[in-house]
Amino acid sequence: VKVTVLGDGAWGRALAHVARAGEHDVEIWSRRAPFDLTAQTLIVAVPAQSVRDVLKMVPTTNKHIIIAAKGIERGTHMLMADVVRDVAPSAIPLVLSGPSFADDVVKGLPTAVTLAADDLDTAKIFAQHFSLPHFRLYASDDVRGVELGGALKNVLAIACGISDGLGLGESARAALTTRGFAELSRLAEAMGAQPRTLMGLSGIGDLLLTASSTKSRNYAFGFRLGQGLPVAEALAQSSGIVEGAFTALVARALAAQHNIDMPIINAVHAIVEDGAKVVDQVTALMQRPAAIE
């Protein structure tokens, strides 16, 4: 397969690396080094907020567009496949998402992620094209479920970072991850995600990786908040866009719209957007009445 990867960041380069290892013909396109595309398959590995702009810069007619960006577009509140459908109505969007650090992939360490398309056969064909023994793709036809897991987990990664920054321990982080996952699932299911997807690689799998590793930008941002840094300073120290800080805002709006209780995501929002004190939010969470699981 002839493939163009849009984006020359760590993730774009990692995906180009595995595609080349699979003996595909791969080029990396970036805004800094653009060229005329010929490839019928595009892999989009730019930050979520740049996907729309980048897709406008390249030909997209009838192409398969594999989205490897996680997040919700500001302003429109669109998921990335919807951005593709909006900008490139004749293209077929696929979504690649799951627990994967670029450096693990480049090192050839085993990684498994989900590849979703509206049509399961399309997902299966592309999963077969790009699977390697150390880079396994699981096919899914739940595009929306895969996208919601990948976007919402960033908010919970901030919460888990805060917990670890405060030194609350591994048991607390596991509880926060699990109860946060219950919130994420409630919202995602209300928005059409399949429960099976949320229990998979792009859901709980990606969450548990992102919510426990300093390699995750969102977790690292939360960790600094837990250590007592003000929001502005913690953001300034981040190495790139902290997608979850914005997603908290959108998630709160979506939760209100679907009438869903999301205490952990609300707490992150209160801290990041309203300047609430970290300790007050943690105390409030712990004093909620015990519930039924």
Whether residue 153 lies in the annotated active site? yes
Rule CB under 8 A: say whether 24 interacts with a copy of itself: no
Torsions phi, psi for 237 (to 5 deg): -80, -5
Report d(CA 25, CA 4) in Å as an integer. 8
Cα separation values, 177 from 60, 117, 159, 204, 237, Å: 38, 27, 8, 9, 24
* Given 61, 90, 171, 239, the residue binding a copy of itself (CB under 8 A): 171
124, 229, 231, 263: residue in contact with a copy of itself (rule CB under 8 A): 124
Q: Exposure pattern of 198-231 as b/e (b: 16+ CB <10 Å)?
A: bebbbbbbbbbbbbbeeebbbbbbbbbbbeebeb
Binding to a copy of itself, residues 130-159 (CB under 8 A): 131, 133-134, 136-140
Closest to a copy of itself by CB, 58 or 105: 105
**Tokens describing residue 285:** 């969470």
41/185 with CB nearer a copy of itself: 185
Instruction: Please answer whether residues 100 and 157 qualify as being in contact, where contact means their C-beta atoms are separated by less than 8 angstroms.
Output: no
Residue 109: how many other CB atoms lie within 10 Å: 12
Nearer to a copy of itself, 181 or 246 (CB): 181
Type of residue numbered 264? I
Query: Hunting for tokens 């019928």 — which residue is that?
Result: 40
279 near a copy of itself (CB under 8 A): no
Q: Which of 7, 12, 205, 222 binds a copy of itself (CB under 8 A)?
A: 205
Residues that bind a copy of itself (CB under 8 A): 98-101, 104-105, 107, 109-112, 114, 120, 124, 127-128, 131, 133-134, 136-140, 163, 168-172, 174-175, 177-179, 181-182, 185, 195-202, 204-206, 208-209, 212-213, 215, 282-283, 286-287, 290-293
- For the annotated catalytic residues, the residue numbers are 153
